[in-house]
Amino acid sequence: MSAALVLGSVALFFFTVTRGALIARGVGKVFFGVLPRADGHVYPIYSNMRLIRLVDFQPIIAAILLFQYDRLVSTITQRLRRSELRGQPVLITSCAFGNVMPRVVKAALGAGASEVQIIDIIENELLNAQRKLQPYAGRLAFHQQDANTLQLPDASVAANVLFFLLHELPHELKGQVLKEAVRVLAPGGTLYLAEFHKPDPWVLRTLSWAYFKVFEPLGLALWSTHDPLRQLEAMGGLHCERRTLFFGNFQVITATKLRA
């Protein structure tokens, strides 16, 4: 009974600060005429500093990703370390919880990157990222921008990292964010994208489906209509690869822009 109460309380908390908050915003729009904001799709868990500090705890984040967090990050950082980044900037599109950002920054700078640029639509996310990245402060640039309208020049970065962003975006923004992520890549540059994926075993697939239906309904489209690999391949001019992890439950996609 005690364990059930704890699990139920945790589930209720995460529902309240994720999908529940979006439902409340939708009610406010319909019944009270509250105008939608550019960041209206962002959960409070990613915008309220108290909630950010409460949840951004490595064991919690690792558990949410079924303890595959380290493998997912390592898949990205190992390739970054082998990349030719000397004198070129690297981009992290949207902040992420856990230690992915310090590890990506360390790998990029270790491979010779001149600077790591970090963008996010939420100011508190950028402030939280600055706190975690203090040892690298002199080689970072932080910009409050929307991922679907990046204020960066074409072909301006050698690598771009998107870590579990797409599944939370409205469907009409998923493709636009990918287009922007590719637009800013220099020829030969690589996009690294980590996301959920459709599991292979039916039991895990059923549990994942239930999780998405309750907490992350926008994420189910990644299984079908908004498969990021298909969207990237449809753009052309990219060499794309996908690696799946943990019985297909997660994926890391690399998309390298072909040289002319």
Longest Cα–Cα distance of the chain, Å, equals 63
How many angstroms from the chain centroid is the CA of residue 62? 15
8 C-beta neighbours (distance < 10 Å), count: 10
Whether the predicted pLDDT of 28 surpasses 80: no
Task: Give the tokens for residue 225.
Answer: 């209509």
Of 196, 197, 257, 251, nearest to 232 by C-alpha is: 257
> Which DSSP helix (H) or strand (E) runs through 180?
helix 171-183
Rounded CA separation 223/113 (Å): 34
CB 253 within 8 A of CB 195: yes
pTM > 0.85: yes
Residue 229: count of CB within 10 angstroms of its CB:
17
Q: Tell the residue number behind the tokens 């800013």, with chain if given.
A: 184
Of the candidates 67, 127, 68, the residue with the CA atom closest to the CA atom of residue 95: 127
CA 90 distance to own-chain centroid:
16
Q: How far apart are CA 164 and CA 96, in angstroms?
A: 8
Residue (of 115, 182, 191) closest to 155 by Cα position? 182
Distance CA 56, CA 124 (A): 13
- Residue 87: what residue type? G
Higher-pLDDT residue of 32 and 156 is: 156
The answer on pLDDT for 15 being more than 80 is no
Could you report the per-residue pLDDT of 201-210, keeping only the tens digit for each? Answer: 999 999 999 9
Arithmetic mean of pLDDT, 6-10: 61
Q: Position 223: which residue type?
A: W
Which residue segments constitute the domains of the chain, with CATH numbers given?
2-55 (no CATH), 63-257 (3.40.50.150)
Does the pLDDT of residue 116 top 80, yes or no? yes
pLDDT of residue 256 exceeding 70, the answer is yes
pLDDT of residue 102: 98
- Rounded to whole angstroms, the Cα distance separating 28 from 136 reads 42
Chain-centre distance for alpha carbon 188? 22
In the chain, what percentage of residues exceed pLDDT 90? Answer: 80
CA 130/CA 118 separation, integer angstroms: 10
DSSP-assigned letters across all residues of 181-244: HHHTEEEEEEEEEEEE---SSHHHHHHHHHHHHHT-GGGGGGGTTT-HHHHHHHH-SEEEEEEE
State the Cα–Cα distance between residues 113 and 127, nearest whole angstrom. 22
Tokens of 215: 């907490």
**pLDDT value for 260:** 79
Phi, then psi, of 54 in degrees rounded to 5: -70, -40
Q: Percent of the chain scored above 70 by pLDDT?
A: 87
pLDDT computed for residue 5 by the predictor: 65
pLDDT band at 42 (very low <50, low <70, confident <90, very high): confident
pLDDT of residue 16: 73
157-200, pLDDT tens digit by residue?
Answer: 999 999 999 999 999 999 999 999 999 999 999 999 999 999 99
